[in-house]
Each structure stands twice: as C-alpha cells, then as structure tokens.
Structure 1
Amino acid sequence: MPALLRRRCICLLPLAGGLLTCAVHGQNAPTQGDFGGGGLWQTPTARMADEGEVAFTASHVSPYTRYDFTLQPLPWLEGGFRYTSIGNHPYGPTALSGHQSYKDKSIDLKLQAWRESRWLPAVAVGIRDMGGTGLFSSEYVVASKRFGPVDASLGLAWGYMGSRGDISNPFDILSDRFRTRPTDTPGSTGEFSTYRYFRGPAALFGGFSYQTPWQPLVLKLEYEGNDYKHEPFNDNQPQRTPINVGAVYRLNQHVDLSVALERGRVGMLGFTLHTNLARSEGPPKLLDPPPPPRQSAPASQPLAQVDWAKVGRELHDNAGLRVSKVAQRGRELVVTGEQTRYFYDAQGIGRAARVLDNHLGTDIDWYTVESTVEGLPVVDTSIHRQRFDALVNHDLDLDAFRRSVEQDTPLPQPEQVLYQAAPKRLDQNLSLGYTQSLGGPNAFILYQLYANYDVDFHFTPNLWWSGDLDANLLNNYSRFTYDAPSNLPRVRTYVREYLTSSRLTMPVFQLTATQRLGPDLYGMVYGGMLESMFGGAGGEVLYRPMGERWAVGADANWVKQRGFDQDFAFRSYHVGTGHITGYFDLGPPHVLLQLSYGRYLAGDWGTTIDVSRVFRNGVRMGAYATFTNVSAKQFGEGSFDKGIYISIPFDLILPGSHRNSANLLWQPLLRDGGARLNRRYTLYDLTGERDTGAFQDNLQMITN
C-alpha cells in the first residue's frame, strides 16, 4: 500500500510559492548531503540548521536517486524522511509495477550532543534508516569545528556508512555482542532495528567544506567509510577512491545546486530547496481591509443610542469578529463573538478596539472580547482602552502594554445587554483539494485534484449540520490496482476502492452539538457520516483549565464502515472506538505532547504518542507513532503506524488573512492497525484560543 501524502488547500500555487517567498536568511543554512540533512556528500556533519528550517533535496548518483525532506523542529534535533530509487532493481513484477524501479523508504534522526565553543567542536549522534528494510541503515557520531572559512568534520560510522569496517567497534568493551552486526532483517519491515544499532565494525569518515571568497560557492571534500562492497541486493559498486569532491552553488536564499565526483568515477547532480518557516511573517496582506481610521468620538454618548447593528457590521468586516452579543459591565464593554478572519487573535482584538473607539464615549475604560467557537465560550481577553491608545500612538511600549492585558475564563456576571445579533445560519466555501500517494508499487506518484464544496448550517449557535461534497477533476488513480494483504479488519486498506468507485463523493454529512459543562469543561456529541470511510455517532468531553499547560479529554464512538461510493450506504463491519487523551505543553520552547490510550478502528487496543513543535507564527512540525496489541506480523508491512507531519497557516502564504492551515502528512505505509477515526471537530482544536502563550507570543499583531 502506498504512503499517503495528503494536502487540502484553497489553491496549490500559493502554497508552493509561499514556501519560497518567506522572509528568511536561507544562506545561513548548512549545505545538504546526498542523503539530506546537514552534511558533506555521502556523510553527515554535526551542523544543525536554525530551528524552523525545512529542506527538500533531490540527488542522483548512479544507480541511486534520492528524494529527501528534512525538518529542524528544535535547535538540537534534525529529522527527515527519504525515498531512494534503486535504478537497476525493479519494484516488482512487470504486471504490477511496470518498469518502475525499487523505492526504499527511510526515516532519519540526528541529535546534537553539544554546540561548538571556542575550543570544543559541535558533536552530534544520528541514525539513518531507523526502521523498515534497513537497506541503508547506519549510525554515527560526528564532530565539526570551524576554522575561518573552513568547516572540518570527523566521525565514526557503523552499518552502511561504515561498511569498510576497518576499525574495531569501541563498544566491544561493554559487551561482546557489539562485535558483530546482524545481517538478517526483521520479520516485518517498519520495525525499529534497535538490535543492529551501533553493532559491528566501524569506519572513520570526515572532510572539509570551504566557503570561497565568492559567497555563492562552497567547495566540499569528503572521505567516506563505505567501500560499496555490501550494497543492497548485492549490487556492489566499484570504487576507485573513498574521496569525494564537489561544489555547491547557492543560486539564491532558497536554492542550492550541487555537483560532485564520487567513488572516483561517478558524477553526482543535486539540488536543494530550503526555507525557514518559523521566521516567516507571510506576504503583505493586500486583500485585508486597512485598520479603521481614528475618528473623534463624542465625549459622552449613552450606549443605548449607539447604532450597534452598524458597529456589529464594522466589527465583522474589519475585525473579523462575528458578533453575537454586546453588553456593559460598569465601565467595561463586553463583545461576544467568533473570530472568522485573523489567524492571530491579538490582531482581531486590536482591530475591534479601533472600531469601538470610533463609536464610544469616555465612559468606557475596558474592552473585553469574549471569544466563542461553535457556541462554546473559550476565553475573555480584556485590554485597557487608554493604554491601547497609547500603544497605537507609540507613547507606550509593547512590554508595558502587555502587563495590562488580561485573559480569563468566561464566567456569568451581572451585565446590561445592549445588543443581541441574529445568528448567521449558513456558511459555505468552495475550494480545491489535492490528494497524493507516494511510493506505491503501481506508481511512485498517484494524485487526485478535486473540487470541494463545504457547507455548515447552524440551527442554534451550539447545534449545526456539516456537509462536504467532492467532485473529482483530475487523477491517475486508475493505475491504482494493488490490494495490500491484511490480517485485520480492512478499516483503511480499502483506500483504493474509496478513491476510485465514484467521481462524486460525500465525505462528511454530520450533525454536531456542543455544550459548556463547567468553567473549564466542554462537551460535544455528533452523528452522521463522520469521515470518508466511517459513519456513526459519538461524543467527547474535554477538561482544559485556563492558564494551565495541560488538558485531558475522552471520546467514545460507535461507527460502521461506509460504502465505497461514499453516499448513504453502509457495509457490514462496525466497531466501538474511543480514546482517553492527555495534552501537555512542555514549553518553552512550545513542544506539545499528546498521549492517547484506547481502542482503534480494527478493534485493537493501544497508545498513540504525538510530539510536535509549534512556532510562534503557527507553523507546526511533528511526528506520531501508535503501538497496539497487534503483533508486527499481524499488522503487516510497516509493523506499527507512524508518520511525520507539518502544518503551515495559510496566513503565511496568502495575501489575505486566513484562519485555516495547509496540512501535509507523510505515512510510510497505510495499514489497518492503529487506525483512528478522522473526526472533523475535536474539542482541543475548538478551544485553541485558550493557549494564552500563543496569544502573548503574537501580541505585537494587536496594532496591525
């Protein structure tokens, strides 16, 4: 079964263009090796990119073509995944794969043990091809030290990079088992090959990179520890010399071109696209309305005489706030509503304050915005009117203003209601969607471009119906003929049938109700067609105390498998599924750990561990792994469910503000074990504005 790399977005071109137009300093990123990640050619260095850096590298050195995607979520952590095409080895029988070459999937990890100082080098420890087939598995320790324009590295490698094996394993002193590296492979690909880590003979590697006086040009020379006598599928390669030499030309801040001579006989060509997502501030918001002009408000005007319907329209059109109620509490004005436009909550609150300033007299000192999401009161944010005016007029700095901002749990208080808006019933959106499958036996890339019509109809603020209608526009999934073997109920491996049975599908047809059960307790129930493969009913509760870095929730669902046409038909399989989940913010830096335990769609029980880094601009980089009571043999190829993902706010891509994000998920293999229900709404996401840290990180947006 192919890996799925899925992305749903308003438009594909702004996403691709946005990654290359971020305002960053790409030239500070280390050059990438043939295997991706900071390195020379075939070997890594101890260098790390700045946190938030992402890079895509493609390189070809016969018979291998490699496609690498590298992430730098933390200053000391580099991770990535890779596809290696072995050009002289077929994927499988011609009837299944045609003339497609074999594709090997790999996951890499590199940790920096300590940073370079005046006297000591930077040191890193890493593992290549952590699981799977292990065709290119290798472990290493490497040190790097800079001497002016020269950056020198020296390391020790085991496995593929150290296959010359001319140095005894230094770990022999710990145990005799380190002397020999097992050559067998796990019973099922996808397992972490821990039984081979740092085993067997080792080899030295190292080299130099030289930053020439001409800034775009970097020269690199490398000595590698691979003698190419132990290549995958016994396809050993002649090597005239272990020294590789070449150059990198940095075309601009985001594009590197590479050329090298490797093994003393084979040319290498490569290129790298890279950018720093954490530093991106997005393009100018040319499609946003300008902030409201400052007007002279009447010195004193009874609030009952204010045209609140007009104010509500201005709050929606300029501040993105869909107002449901306006009330007065003494010298405090409280506006209750849902933010619909601005990704950064502070920006919407600042716009709202400017609108209110132009309509209210001096008898109001505080503005409070009570943020709601799908009828749920989430957070009260209060700003002092005079201090905000001083901030806008540059008479008060941001840190001084920050101390006057309050965020609290919404609680019932005595108030005078000034305005109650008629609820908006209908929300609808037409967009393009894109689904892509990588690395399968039928073809390396299978894709689908479709039109999506998304509609929500609210009966009350807390009760609404959601529907999705997808129309296929362009795809090559007709080539998708592979039925993966499965020893479990087929809860996900019928993906081919769901993608190819109908050109018009209805992924979602769902009724949802929410309720606040206490000051920090939320509840939700839902029923209908909950996702493309399952329909049914369920509920969720979430306890998320205000101002805390943790939350805990639970969901329970009874679902039945849908028909392949994704209409109102069902198949016979049904299951009860649900999880208890703990959310823990480990920051700073803002690292979110999610631990879930429960029953999955195939009836298996287990735990999902999800760790992600969230940057202040909303970019998220993360990875997850699911371990259940299903054995690796029963799970099938892949051994357990795992994936790497990245989420990029559309606000960093488009010329207009937007609340949603483009989400990219890479799963090495899609199997039936560890599969969770893809619910459209989760209470943790709906209550995201309770993340007061994110609000404070972006408080500077309040004047935009």
Structure 2
Amino acid sequence: MKRHWLPCLVLGCATCAVAEPRYTQNDFGGVGLLQTPTARMAQAGELSVNANRTDPYSRYSVSFQPFDWLEGSFRYTAISNRDYGPESLSGDQSYKDKAIDAKVRLLKENRWLPEVALGGRDIGGTGLFSSEYFVGNKRLGDFDLSLGLAWGYIGNRGDIDNPASIVLGDKFDERPQATGTGDFNGNTYFRGSPSFFGGVNYQTPWDPLSLKLEYEGNDYQNEPQDNDQIQDSPINLGMVFKASDSVDLHAAWERGNTAMFGITLHTNFATRKAPAKSFDPPAEKVQASMPKVAPEDVQWAGVAQRLQKNAGYRVERIAQRDSELIVYGEQTRYFHAPKAVGRAARILDNSVNDEIDWFTVVDNRNGLPVQEISLPRETFREVAQKDRPVEDLRRVTEQNAPVPHQEKELFEQTLSPFTYGLGLGYKQNVGGPDGFLLYQFTADLTAEYRFQRDLWWNGMLSANLVNNFDKFKYDAPSNLPRVRTFLREYMTTSDVTMPTFQLNKVKQLDEDLYGMAYGGYLESMFAGVGGELLYRPMGERWAIGGNLAWAKQRDFEQDFGLRDYDVITGHVTGYYRLPFEDILAAVSVGRYLARDYGVTFDLSREFRNGVRFGGFMTLTNVTQDEYGEGSFSKGIYFSIPFDELMASSTMRRANLVWSPLTRDGGASLGRSYSLYSLTEGRNIDMFHNNFDKVVE
C-alpha cells in the first residue's frame, strides 16, 4: 500500500464580503503558492518577470496571461551545483535548464463549486522538472484554499497508485524518464504514481502582505541529474510583500531547512493606462463657428503642415468631391487611427467653410492605399464640443476600401525623398552552453530614399559597441545546411556591418489585392530577390498571401560579399482573426531556408491597445536526428507598442521573441516589410475598439 499523508483542507464557500486576495507567482513562475501551482489565474493581459533562489536552484521566468482561462510561462533554471558542460566549452557556468509551462482553467468558481485547472510544467523543454496536475481552489473569506493531484516532479513522493492505470492499463504505473531537449515528451504525461499537494494563501489585514502555507508532493529523492536534496518537512511557509503596484518581494522557508528569496516585476497590458502624452502637441480646438474660407481659397500648404505636426499625417494631396474633403496621406506618429483621424478632422474643420459636409482621410502606407475613413462634419463637431456622445459618431463613421474617385485636386505635396535616423541596437542569445547571456549593443544608422511613394530603398549600417559573442563556441551541429547556426561568425567577424540594403516596390493591384517586389541584402545572413501577393478584403477577418524568393547566403562580414549556398524559399499563408478574444491565427505552408518543407502555426492574442502575446511552432519533413537538439522550431513572443510605454505618441513596437534554441530546420527568410503588416490599417476591430480616441 502507498503511504497517505495529506493536510486537512476543507473546501467550502465564503459568505462574508471581503476584498479578493491578490494572486501572486510561485517559485517556478505562474500563479500559485511556493513550489506548487493553484487553479487561480491572473487577469488577461498580465505579464510577470520572476527571479528567485532556493539552493541549489536559481529560477528566472516570464509568465503571461493571453486569456483569463490560459496561463503560459517560460523559464530558465540554473542548477548551481552542476556544470553546464566541459570546462573547455562552458568554463565554470552552472547547468541551465529551459522549460515551457501551461495551465488551463476547466471550471470557474461559483458559490458551490471550486475553481479547477489542468496544467503541465516543463511540457516543452528538457523534461527535467516535468509534471502534470489537476488542482482546485475555493475561497473562505481571506483564505484561498487549494488542493491538487500531480504526476511527475510535483508529485514525486508517489502517495497513491495511479488512477489512470485502472482505465488505461498498467503502462501508466511507471513514468519513463524524459529524453531529448526541447521536445514534447507526451509519452510521460500522467504516468507514474501521483501525490496530493495543496495549501492556503492568507491575505492579511495589512494589504501589502499575504502569507502562504503549502504541503508539497515532492520528497526531493528523485531530483534531476542525481541531485537529491534533504527534506526535513514537506510543509513550506512563505510570504509575499507588495512593495509597489508592480513589484512583489517573496521570502519562504522550504523543505524545512532552506530559505527562498525572490522578486516579481509585473504589469497588466490590458488594463494599465498608458502614460499621459505630455510631449504631444495639444489637439486643435473646434471653433464655435465655421470659417468663411471656400475650399479653393484655403492656403492648403499651411494646412498640410498642421496635419503633419498635429495629426501625424505626411500629406500627399488634398482633393474635393462635391461636399466631401479628402486628405491622402501617410500616418507617421499616432498608433491608433481614430486619434489621428480626429485630430485631422479638427484641423480641416477649422480651415474650410460650411460648403464641406464630410471629411475623409485616405490612409496610405509606403504608397499603398489601405483604408479610407469618413466622418460627417456636423456630428463630429457636436461630439468634439461634448454636445453628443462619441457613440453617435461611431455609428455614422464609414470605413471603406480606397477606390479611385472623380475629384477636384486642391493641393499636392512634393515628395521629400530622403530620411535617416540614428539609434541603439541590441541582440542577445539566452541560455546557451557558452554563457547564460550573450549580447551585443550596436549604434545603428538607418536611411531611406523614396524614388516614388511606392518605390524606395532602405538600408542600415551597424557599428559594434559592446559584444561578448566571442564566447559563443557551440556550433549546434545538425545534418542540415547551416543557414542559422553560423551565429558566432556573423556576430564577431566584423565590427561594422550592413544588415540591410534593399530596394522595394509595392502596388495595389485591385481593390483588395496587393503586390510587392523586393531585392538586395534582406537580412544579416541572406541576400536575394522575391515577391509577395496578399488578398485582404476590407471588412473581412481573413486574408491569404504568398511569398516566393531566391536567397543566397551572405559573407560573415555582412558587406556586399556572398557565399556559395542558395535556395528557393517561399510560403502560402492564411490569416484568420477570430470574432472573439481578438485571436489571430496564421498558418504558413512552404519551403524553408534549409530546403526543408513544412508548416508553421502561429497563434496570438491582441488586446485593444495593440499589445500582442503569441506563440509559434514549425514542423518540417526533417527527422529529429537531422534537425538536432530541440527536435523542431518553436517559441513565444510579445509585441508591445512603444505608445503604451512613452509620454509621446509613436507607431513603433518592441518585439521580443524567445525561442529555446537556434537551429537550421524550419528557418524562414527575414524581411523588413510584409504586406500583412503594411495593411494592418484594415484591422477593423482595432479601429472600433479604440474609437473613443477620436476626441483626444
């Protein structure tokens, strides 16, 4: 018989009205107690960065909540008493383990039922700490009680026989040891003898402080790498102190003999307020009465300057069609289209007489007409003067595909062809055997020359400032052409590089059909020529596109030289934006840089402010042995508009991608532009979700 030891936890329902406890991170990352998870979830949009130390483990994790029912984490664990590898390769670096976790809510708590979740720890890593579990939570006033059953690491004590054996057979009595690195070890899931775990989180009367007590199902006698630990008690006691709205400090006494200290930095990108745009110019005020100047008498050059400085539109031309005034231009400052259109409407309203009843802005990107937005002037005036609610304006605002019009041209702006900028660049490689963090800081000079609005050259010169990639020695061997694993050579051969130097041409081929041709030095490792088509109907949630390119490998110096390797690569991609939860699904099928064929799945959640959490997975026709360590390409990413972080408006984004390993299989050609991103203005959900900004 298995031994049974379980703290008595009574799960009932609370009848008193109390403030809801804060849900904080556990030692591994993800909402929980200390060593164990709970069924609780953070609010959708939450992003947490965690670091803690419990000898011999230091854990660094990022947890994210794309939906209120789904939690994900990725983590590096440093095992301080184990070496990463041979001293000749890794020096004295400690062993680093990579892992991906996930938790799904199955049942939401109500008056009678507990909250229930199903989760997996280390489901997409080496499997050293892999575990699967069911857990439930119920509140009793200021106490939040949890009780769960876990297989694998969390349940290594093995208190009971495996219930799955009764239904699925004796093979579930034993848990195979996880093999490989970066694979999904599905043959181990829910196998072996599980254990119970549970605990309580107590929100003290002092709001910044909460206390945690847990019973864990791990006895530390089956630790990875024969690293068993002495456990004097399965009871862990800890506390969380809320140092600020975005900083939590953790401390605990675990295993009856070991201290834990940690810190969590967190924010919620769905609910947080962006900084006040104190560096933006104030929007023009709508005057009490309309001007007396007829459209043909307006000094449109001055209006174009105001549209550039105050509404962010680089005006191409201004025209009139009957009682409609049309501005053609490219947005350069405001991330949210309603804000830009509202500011433009104020400027136009203050410039022309009552002969004009409608204001239309045709939004172009690099010469591509993306959408046209039309506002009725009188309704806009009343809303801007706060005489009517903004919803009245939303109902009558039109968003259409741009089409040619019979119109009278009032003004045309001369193209200013040359622009440039200087910025700081950063590249990194995390968790490799050569060093936990390899990095490079560069000074980047970017430039663009437009021969026409839809024909331009762009390039970059990059000067190395600080770089420790000379430590990178691991070549990550595989049986595929080395299209990505020459990382050290590309990062260290030259101190001055030319990552991009290319020519681009775009064209609207039909009302909803776009085309692009490009050629040159497309990214740091490949040059080439190619073309793309995209069909994206206005007002629809779907789009389909195709891209085909001939690519040739560049010299390590990243100048104008080329190596011998070349490949024809391309994909057909389907996009679909689900009508709920702002989910974008993309599936690409085609040929990759290493001449392997396969499919890439990409799933992301975009919040109303433009913040995007997503993940991708690529499966190709190469075997695991051919691919090498990691088995297949996968990763997660965060895309955060700088507009959410800065006191001035900007259209730029911070794109953070984490992929466990750099490998040659499933590698796509990097490009500066894609038609789907250039036509992002056709995302009608984003427009309407932020329509209230039309009065800002």
> Is TM more than 0.5 here?
yes
Question: 1:683 matched to which residue of 2?
Answer: 675
2:216 corresponding residue in structure 1: 224
Q: How does 1:464-483 map to 2 (within 5 A)?
A: 464-483=456-475
Matches within 5 A, 1:537-552: 537-552=529-544
- Indicate the residue corresponding to 1:101 in structure 2: 94
CA offsets, 1:562-588, max 9 Å, x none? Answer: 000111000000000000000010132
| 2:527 aligned partner | 535
Of residues 332, 351, 364 in structure 1, which corresponds to 2:324?
332
2:597 aligned with 1:636, yes or no?
no
Please give the per-residue CA displacement for 1:252-310, whole angstroms capped at 9, x wherever unaligned: 11111111111111111111111111223321112211112334666543311111111
1:450 aligns with 2:471: no
Corresponding residue SS for 1:318: helix
Q: Residue deviations 1:158-213, cap 9 Å, x none?
A: 00111111111111222114533343333x32110111111111100000010011
Q: Which residue of the partner structure matches residue 23 of structure 1?
A: none
SS at match of 2:25: coil
1:49-60 matches, cutoff 5 A = 49-60=42-53
Contact 2:150 2:197 in 1 (8 A): yes
RMSD, aligned CA: 1.3
Q: How many Å separate the matches in 1 of 2:96 and 2:34?
A: 21
More moved, 610-619 vs 232-241: 232-241
In structure 2, the residue matched to 1:360 is 352
Mapped contact 1:297–1:357 kept (Cα < 8 A): no
C-alpha distance in 2 between matches for 1:173 and 1:398: 61
Q: CA deviation at 1:492?
A: 0.2
Give the match's secondary structure for 2:515.
Answer: strand
**Distance in 2 between the 1:33 and 1:158 partners?**
18
Contact conserved, 1:579 with 1:598, CA < 8 A, in 2?
A: yes
Whether the 8 Å contact between 2:442 and 2:462 is mirrored in structure 1 is: yes
What SS does the aligned partner of 2:305 have? helix
Q: Is the aligned partner of 1:162 residue 2:149? A: no
Paired with 1:275 and 1:310, the residues of 2 have a C-alpha distance of: 43
Partner Cα separation in structure 2 for residue 497 and residue 515 of structure 1:
37
Q: 1:392 to 1:173 in 2, by over 3 A?
A: same
State the SS of the aligned residue for 1:679. Answer: coil
* Structure 1 residue 576 corresponds to structure 2 residue 568: yes
Kept in 1, the 8 Å contact 2:21–2:142? The answer is no
Q: Relative contact order: is structure 1 or structure 2 higher (C-alpha 8 Å, sep ≥ 6)?
A: 1
Alignment of 1:398-547 (within 5 A): 398-547=390-539
**Are 1:169 and 1:202, in contact at CA under 8 Å, matched by a contact in 2?**
yes
Which position in structure 1 is the counterpart of 2:25?
Answer: 32
Look up the SS of the partner of 1:390 in the other structure.
helix
1:696 maps to 688
Q: How many residues are treated as equivalent by the alignment?
A: 678
Q: Which amino acid aligns with 2:362?
A: E
Give the corresponding residue for 1:204: 196
Query: 1:276 corresponds to which residue?
Result: 268
Following superposition, the deviation at residue 436 of structure 1 comes to 1.6
Alignment partner, residue 110 of structure 1: 103
Q: Mark the CA change 1:178 to 1:251 in structure 2 (over 3 Å): closer, same or farther.
A: farther
1:139 to 2:132 alignment: yes
- Contiguous gaps of at least 5 residues in structure 2: 1-18
**Structure 1 spans left out of the alignment, 5+ residues:** 1-25
The structure 2 residue matched to 1:72, chosen from 39, 58, 65, is 65
1:539–1:499 Cα change, 3 Å = same
SS in 2 for 1:371: strand
Which AA in structure 2 matches 1:207? Answer: G
State whether structure 2 residue 303 is matched by structure 1 residue 319.
Answer: no
Q: 1:153 to 1:578 in 2, by over 3 A?
A: same
Distance 2:213 2:687 in 1: 47
Q: Percent same amino acid at aligned positions? A: 52
The answer on whether the counterparts of 2:178 and 2:188 sit within 8 Å (CA) in structure 1 is no
Q: Which amino acid aligns with 1:128?
A: R
Q: Is contact 2:424-2:442 (8 Å) kept?
A: yes
Partners of 2:38 and 2:118 in 1: CA distance: 10
TM-score (norm 2): 0.96
Which whole-Å CA distance do the structure 1 matches of 2:20 and 2:34 have between them?
A: 18
Following TM superposition, where does structure 1 have runs of at least 4 consecutive aligned residues deviating by more than 3 angstroms? 26-29, 293-300
Q: Counterpart of 2:73 in structure 1: which amino acid?
A: G
Partner SS state of residue 396, structure 2: coil
Deviation by residue 1:354-406 (Cα, 9 ceiling, x = unmatched): 11111100010100000000111110100111111111111111222210111
Structure 2 distance, partners of 1:286, 1:297, is 29
**Distance 1:407-1:298 versus aligned 2 partners, 3 A rule:** closer
Distance 2:171 2:408 in 1: 76
Tell me the SS of whatever aligns to 1:681. coil
Check conservation: 2:240, 2:249, Cα contact below 8 A: yes
Counterpart for residue 22 of structure 1: none
Stretch of structure 1 that moved more, 301-310 or 570-579: 301-310
Contact 1:378 / 1:689 at 8 angstroms: preserved in 2? yes
Preserved contact between residue 248 and residue 256 of structure 1 (Cα < 8 Å): yes
1:673 and 2:683 correspond: no
What is the 5 A alignment of 1:240-279? 240-279=232-271
- Measure the CA separation in 2 of the matches of 1:152 and 1:290: 51
**CA deviations over 1:21-41 (Å, ceiling 9, x no partner):** xxxxx9975111101100111
**What amino acid does structure 2 have at the position aligned with 1:111?**
V
Residue identity matched to 1:245: L
Contact 1:27 1:253 in 2 (8 A): no
Distance 1:360 1:177, change over 3 A: farther
Bigger shift: residues 657-666 or 171-180: 171-180
Residue aligning to 1:8:
none
Residue 686 of structure 1: how far off its partner (Å): 0.2
Distance 1:390 1:160, change over 3 A: same
